[in-house]
Amino acid sequence: MAQQILARAVGRRKEAVAQVQMIRGSGQLIINTKPAHEYLQNDSCAILSVQAPFDIYKKTNSSPNSMESGNGSVLSTMSTELNSIDTIIKVKGGGLKGQAEAIRLGIARALCSVAGANNQTLTTKEVSVDLNVSSKENTLNTGLRKQLKDKGYLTQDSRVKERRKYGLKKARKASQYHKR
């Protein structure tokens, strides 16, 4: 009963580390064995942040200028494929906002690899039929990656908490100076 893993990716932010797996399923988003809205405590900002890469994936695959009348069935199967993919996430460390940003980075990376895998399987099937289809799929994959990169979803935020220095209370906070 082993599931076929379509993509794996890791996202990091501050102390949070999110491991993302995409498998065939019914389109659920599960974080640490809980539904996403339950785990993120119905925080609309965090939920929208996590859903943003999926929205871009749907827009890129259903854009009218990328669909041709003869090859619409190939692209429509790619757009409906997102509804048949379960996203299972294991996240630990940090706070809720850092975890949400780590999850977003992991999902964006996983979607790029899923689109790349779709691109490879479709081009190997379509090479003998039509070479123009493979070039359209290639531009579809690079278009997804470019849009995710432009929005900043593929960029890891490297800022972390500064370490505490000796003689100080925190990283920069010193005790109050008194003259007498």
Tally of CB atoms within 10 A around 88 = 18
First-last CA distance in the chain: 74
Handedness of CA 125, 142, 60, 98 (dihedral sign): positive
Distances, alpha carbon 149 to alpha carbons 2, 99, 144, in Å:
33, 20, 8
Q: Report which of 53, 29, 71 is spatially closest to residue 145, judged by C-alpha positions.
A: 53
All structural domains of the chain: 5-151 (3.30.230.10)
pLDDT at residue 116, as a whole number: 78
Q: Report which of 114, 112, 124, 120 is spatially closest to residue 138, judged by C-alpha positions.
A: 120
pLDDT digits (tens, 9 = 90+) for 91-144: 999 999 999 999 999 999 999 988 877 666 554 444 434 444 445 555 556 788
pLDDT digits (tens, 9 = 90+) for 36-83: 999 999 999 999 999 999 999 888 877 555 444 344 444 444 455 777
